[in-house]
Amino acid sequence: MFKIVEREELNPTVTKLVIEAPLIAKKANPGQFIIVRTHELGERIPLTIADYDREKGTITIIFQIVGKTTRLLNELKVNECVLDFVGPLGVASHITGMKRVCVVGGGVGCAIAYPTAKGLHDNGVEVTTIAGFRNKDLVILEDEFKAVSTNFHLMSDDGSAGTKGLVTNVLEDLLSNGEQFDEVIAIGPLVMMKFVCMVTKKYNVKTVVSMNPIMIDGTGMCGGCRLSVGGKTKFACVDGPDFDGHLVDFDEAMSRSRQYADFEQHEREDNCNLLHKEVA
């Protein structure tokens, strides 16, 4: 059992948990993830390691409440426990040997982008961060990003936070004005990462994306997290989650990500009905 030592609601749909897991904290690095299971009959879901503290022996996860398991995870309180917490899994992000990097995060993907930006900053890399959200109520980790970024650009779709527009607007402006980056790292919704890659390809800038497809066992055995990268099949759990964005087949990935949309909607509706019946 793994005890929750801190809990914070970052916005109405996103929650941060700090969990005691000393063995994982000892080996965790930016870009890696864990598999969590709330109870014995629960499903296994992957969540990126948002931060870690080796001295305290804790792992931070940040998740959006989108399905049954994240709803159950969100209901847990401080001093309660999750049943399984396995990791670190996946290949750690490459954060050394570069001078200037642009990190682009979208929505809850910023929770994944933050540890990478922090790791780059701690290695002496000049980090430019572009973080995009739908509106001001959904903004997360703004102060944390500012602390590890040489330049920070906050964007929102409706202009209620930072500058109105898309993350690709800022990225296009920076590159067209001659900004030079050793690498662009994009983490967020698939469609956002696709369009970031379309921008960087025009300027021949190496681009890495973090892929989080359907995942079951997290060890490469089930094949559920397969992706097409450069015409070859890759598994996000063991080959990634980071891949060359210019080689990823985003259209295929987006199609597969919608495969269980109807099932997930049915599960949400069933759970909501059960809750209403209990209240009644």
Ranges of each domain in the chain: 2-89, 93-204
Alpha helices in 18-79 (DSSP H): 22-27, 68-75
* Cβ contact 138:11 at 8 Å: yes
- Supply the CATH classification number for the domain 93-204: 3.40.50.80
- 2-89 and 93-204 share one CATH topology? no
- How far apart are alpha carbons 49 and 71 in whole angstroms? 19
SS3 call for 10: strand
What are 85-109's pLDDT values in tens digits?
Answer: 998 999 999 999 999 999 999 999 9
Contacts of 173 (CB under 8 A, 6+ apart): none
Q: Beta partners for 98?
A: none
Cβ neighbours around 217 below 10 Å, total: 16
Superfamily of domain 2-89: Translation factors (2.40.30.10)
Q: Quote the mean pLDDT of the chain.
A: 89
CA distances from residue 54 to 60, 85, 178 in whole angstroms, order as listed? 11, 16, 39
pLDDT band at 279 (very low <50, low <70, confident <90, very high): very low
Confidence of residue 217 (pLDDT cuts 50, 70, 90): confident
| Neighbouring-strand partners of residue 226 | 235
The dihedral built from the CA positions of residue 76, 80, 85 and 88, taken in this order, carries a sign that is: positive
pLDDT of the residue at 192: 95
Element (DSSP H or E) covering residue 2? strand 2-11
Confidence of residue 280 (pLDDT cuts 50, 70, 90): very low
- pTM for this structure? 0.86
Q: Which two tokens stand for residue 129?
A: 């961060």
